[in-house]
Structure 1
Amino acid sequence: MGSHRWRDRLGPAVAIAPGARVDKFEVFFDLVFVFSFFIITRATAMNITGASLLHALLVLAVLWWCWVVHSVVAARVRLGEGFVPVLMVIGMAALFCFALSLPQAFADPRQNAAGPMVVAVSYLVIRGVHLLLYWHVAQEKPGERRLLLRYSPEVVLSTALLLAAALVPPQIEDLGRAMLVRDLLWLSVVVLQYGSGLVAGAWGWTITSAEHWTERYDLILIIALGESIISVGVGGNLLGQPVTWPAVAAAVCGIVFTAALWWAHYDVVGPAARIAQHAALGRPRVAMARDAYAYVYLVMIAGIIVFALGAEEMVRQIADPHVSLLEPTHGPGVPLLFGGVICYFCGTMLFQLRTLRTLSWSRVGVVAVLGAAIPAGVLLPALAALGLLTLICVGLVAVEVVVMADSRGALRTAVFQEKTTHEAHEVAFRAAWHEPEEKDGPGHGGGTPPA
């Protein structure tokens, strides 16, 4: 009785409508994912090894699956309406605890069991909130509830595997074997999650608003790009060092090449893919949403985190007054920086291939050039290597602006017409708020919008 009373006061859950856009609460929820990306980068940057990179990618994959499930729920119900924000705040708190515990998830299993347990319990709460919310909004569609039950075993098994990763390794005396068991359990979680999405296929699900779905993923990718800038600035200790011209040059290069990566996706490929998502209907729309956005975006975000680690290493060397600017780059900075950008561009190519059925020779060329530039970058000073990467990324943008001028112009015209048409409809709708003022004249208080 009490639960029905507070739900009535807050209002019911409201379904997503065709053409719906992302609301402000969803952006607010994404702040926790910003923190999660930051924690993954910071924890890995403390000791960059092959094992730590593997652990970072495993954690990122599990975290991203939570995001995918979250986006599926958001494609069904408006997260900022009715009683739904209350549940989402619970999910946010669990996600925050999940992120706080990530640095301890792969620590010595014999000395730290609390961190992995918090990870497992927080994960269960996050998935439970999403499951209960979807179950509630699907109450009028028994078929949809039965479909949801088919996916429930994945939640149970993945949580059980994370709990096993927290409880089993401490019982193994040999440290190497304990760490191997833990890593294999985490890998099993990732295989189970993404495998279940592939096995289940696109049957039964719907994407009511393609605009909401594409905008949701575009925003999280921008957040990941912004987090990479924060990581470089904070991790490179630019705030703690006196301002120097080399540090300023490194900061400018970081902004410019990140902007080039943004341009590479959002100038042509992203808007064209959004139109393709709108054009697809039924199962093809769901399949494209799963493959291109839920799966391929993970490749792009993984690339962003990897190149952020490399850029941080290089910026730290550039900002260090005790290191000569002519000294060749040391450490894993260049392979991480160039390799992460290669991973990002490979993700954009896969995304373009899946949504538009095309492949740009310029993207293939820039991946080849970046791969060939790694041996040279290792021999260059850090600032020169960072400048070389920036030049390559800006060069790609310049080439595509020239080569794709006609198709780019046609696309931008179509997108602009769509935007102005939408804005005109909004203006026409809000014109009704001013009709009393026009009829009664000034001073009659007719300008207040109706309740």
Structure 2
Amino acid sequence: MTDDPGRPLTRVKGGPQRADLLELFFDLAFIASLTLVSQQMAAEQSWTGIGEALLVLSTLWAVWVTTTLITDTYSPRKRPIPYLILGIMFGVMLMSAALPTAFRDHGLVFGGTWAVINLGRGLVLIRSQRGRQGQERSVRALAWSLSAGALWVVGGLLDDPGWRLGVWLAALAVDYIGFGFRFPVPGRPALPRYEVSPEHLAERYQQIYILTLGELVLVSVLGLSHQPFTPDRIAAFGTAFLTGVVLWWSYAGGAGATLRTAIEASPHRARLVQTNPYAHWLMVAGVVGTAAGVERIIAEPGERPEGVMTALILGGTGLFLCGRAVLEHEVYGRVPLSHVLGVAATIALAPLAAHLPGLTVGVAAALVLVGVALGELLRMRRRSTPASVAP
């Protein structure tokens, strides 16, 4: 780490743009939170509970996205950036610990910690950028954080879970709108679009998606290890493995693998910076929901899924496919027909799910993903095969 006040904090153009080990260390805190969200989803029996789980997942995702944008703009080896990242990591761990009871006893811990992260980050960046270009963005972000932070704290103080959920939804909307519109302020010109390092940004999203798949692997292994090894549970375990493989291949063999090139070549690079978080959020939420469904299926393979469990199994698949379609559109400018048909298939299967064992529904969801992957594979082969020349 360097500590030269005369040197800028931003990354040096032409210098190393790879992700730093500190960033991978930070990701561990986020993955821990994914595990807790997945467990909460698996244990929930109500739509309100699923909504609460999605809200906390979206909040933690906002922490990850904003932290990644910091390390994309500022070198994580220049003080005070590494201390700022470690401070945010501690906050994420505290939020994760409060996550299971965020809508009961520890609402103020969860919401208040997120407010402190936002305010502390803004103050540190404003002080570090004193007299430098870019300070105005941090000042505006701090102003938006004050508004959202007040709502997070007020929500944490409310005793009624329904009111807390409503206030926190409003707070999260302020956070997302502020980021999406680059912290607008009445009477002031719009801030410049985000300048990014394509290599670093693409690598960070690739890393977090693969680490999210690790959550599915972990849930599958732990779920089977706590149960008797019956044929139907082993079949559920095998289905989970197949699902994980297809979720990996779909990303690694598609737009995810060419994300850096797409960002570099895109005439709308700034738009990609702002749409990437939402596309990847859909995929991450889909994987977490799928992991929760897998946990339930391995525990009770013959259980007929009610509405919430159906949403976890089929909805997780549908969310992932929606995210992949959005990413495909942003990278290649198209929406693959296979993804549209895959989402339609998950919707069509939903009414039948209540009459089938959970294992059968899980197999059906896996087959939908396999079908979409095969469609993608055939499309890529047609694109790579030279057109025949007529004699």
TM-score (norm 1): 0.76
Q: 1:408 to 1:244 in 2, by over 3 A?
A: farther
For 1:75 and 1:330, locate their aligned partners in 2 and report how far apart those are by CA, in whole Å.
Answer: 43
For 1:254 and 1:118, locate their aligned partners in 2 and report how far apart those are by CA, in whole Å.
Answer: 34
- Report the identity percentage: 25
Residue 338 of structure 1: CA displacement?
0.8
Kindly indicate whether residue 139 of structure 2 is the aligned counterpart of residue 149 of structure 1: yes
Within a 5 Å distance, the mapping from 1:29-428 to structure 2 comes to 29-107=26-104, 112=105, 115-139=106-130, 141-142=132-133, 144-167=134-157, 169-170=158-159, 178-200=160-182, 203-234=191-222, 236=223, 238-280=224-266, 284-291=268-275, 293-318=276-301, 325=302, 328-329=304-305, 332-407=308-383
Structure 2 regions of 5+ residues with no counterpart? 184-189, 387-391
Question: Counterpart amino acid of 1:295?
Answer: Y
Paired position in structure 2 for 1:449: none
Q: Answer whether contact 1:257 1:393 (CA < 8 A) is retained.
A: yes
For 2:3 and 2:259, locate their aligned partners in 1 and report how far apart those are by CA, in whole Å.
Answer: 38
Question: Counterpart amino acid of 2:278?
Answer: Y
RMSD of aligned alpha carbons: 2.6
Q: Answer whether contact 2:42 2:292 (CA < 8 A) is retained.
A: yes
Q: Deviations over 1:396-448 (max 9, x none)?
A: 212221222143689xxxxxxxxxxxxxxxxxxxxxxxxxxxxxxxxxxxxxx
Question: Counterpart amino acid of 1:302?
Answer: A
Residue 220 of structure 1: CA displacement?
1.1
For 1:141 and 1:388, locate their aligned partners in 2 and report how far apart those are by CA, in whole Å.
Answer: 56
Kindly indicate whether residue 15 of structure 2 is the aligned counterpart of residue 15 of structure 1: no
For 1:156 and 1:409, locate their aligned partners in 2 and report how far apart those are by CA, in whole Å.
Answer: 56
- What secondary structure sits across from 1:271 in the alignment? coil
- What secondary structure sits across from 1:379 in the alignment? coil
Residue 301 of structure 1: CA displacement?
1.6
Aligned length: 377
Q: Answer whether contact 1:73 1:130 (CA < 8 A) is retained.
A: no
Q: Deviations over 1:73-114 (max 9, x none)?
A: 11112224555323322221111111111222212xxxx3xx
Q: 1:407 to 1:269 in 2, by over 3 A?
A: farther
Question: Counterpart amino acid of 2:273?
Answer: A
Q: Deviations over 1:340-383 (max 9, x none)?
A: 11011011111222232111111111111222223334323232
Question: Counterpart amino acid of 1:376?
Answer: L
Q: 1:242 to 1:207 in 2, by over 3 A?
A: same
Q: Deviations over 1:144-178 (max 9, x none)?
A: 112221221121111111110122x24xxxxxxx3
Q: Answer whether contact 2:227 2:299 (CA < 8 A) is retained.
A: no
For 1:385 and 1:154, locate their aligned partners in 2 and report how far apart those are by CA, in whole Å.
Answer: 44
Q: 1:139 to 1:208 in 2, by over 3 A?
A: farther
TM-score (norm 2): 0.87
For 2:313 and 2:385, locate their aligned partners in 1 and report how far apart those are by CA, in whole Å.
Answer: 32
Residue 49 of structure 1: CA displacement?
0.9
Q: 1:74 to 1:205 in 2, by over 3 A?
A: farther
Q: 1:16 to 1:366 in 2, by over 3 A?
A: farther
Question: Counterpart amino acid of 1:337?
Answer: I
Question: Counterpart amino acid of 2:270?
Answer: V
Q: Deviations over 1:311-345 (max 9, x none)?
A: 22111102xxxxxx5x6556743332011110110
Question: Counterpart amino acid of 1:90?
Answer: G
Question: Counterpart amino acid of 1:161?
Answer: L
Q: Answer whether contact 1:165 1:186 (CA < 8 A) is retained.
A: yes
For 2:304 and 2:100, locate their aligned partners in 1 and report how far apart those are by CA, in whole Å.
Answer: 31
For 2:384 and 2:319, locate their aligned partners in 1 and report how far apart those are by CA, in whole Å.
Answer: 24
Residue 8 of structure 1: CA displacement?
6.2
Paired position in structure 1 for 2:187: none
For 2:143 and 2:311, locate their aligned partners in 1 and report how far apart those are by CA, in whole Å.
Answer: 40
For 2:322 and 2:156, locate their aligned partners in 1 and report how far apart those are by CA, in whole Å.
Answer: 34
For 1:145 and 1:26, locate their aligned partners in 2 and report how far apart those are by CA, in whole Å.
Answer: 23
Q: Answer whether contact 1:44 1:52 (CA < 8 A) is retained.
A: yes
Q: 1:45 to 1:328 in 2, by over 3 A?
A: closer
For 1:243 and 1:267, locate their aligned partners in 2 and report how far apart those are by CA, in whole Å.
Answer: 33
Q: Answer whether contact 2:10 2:75 (CA < 8 A) is retained.
A: yes
- What secondary structure sits across from 2:354 in the alignment? helix
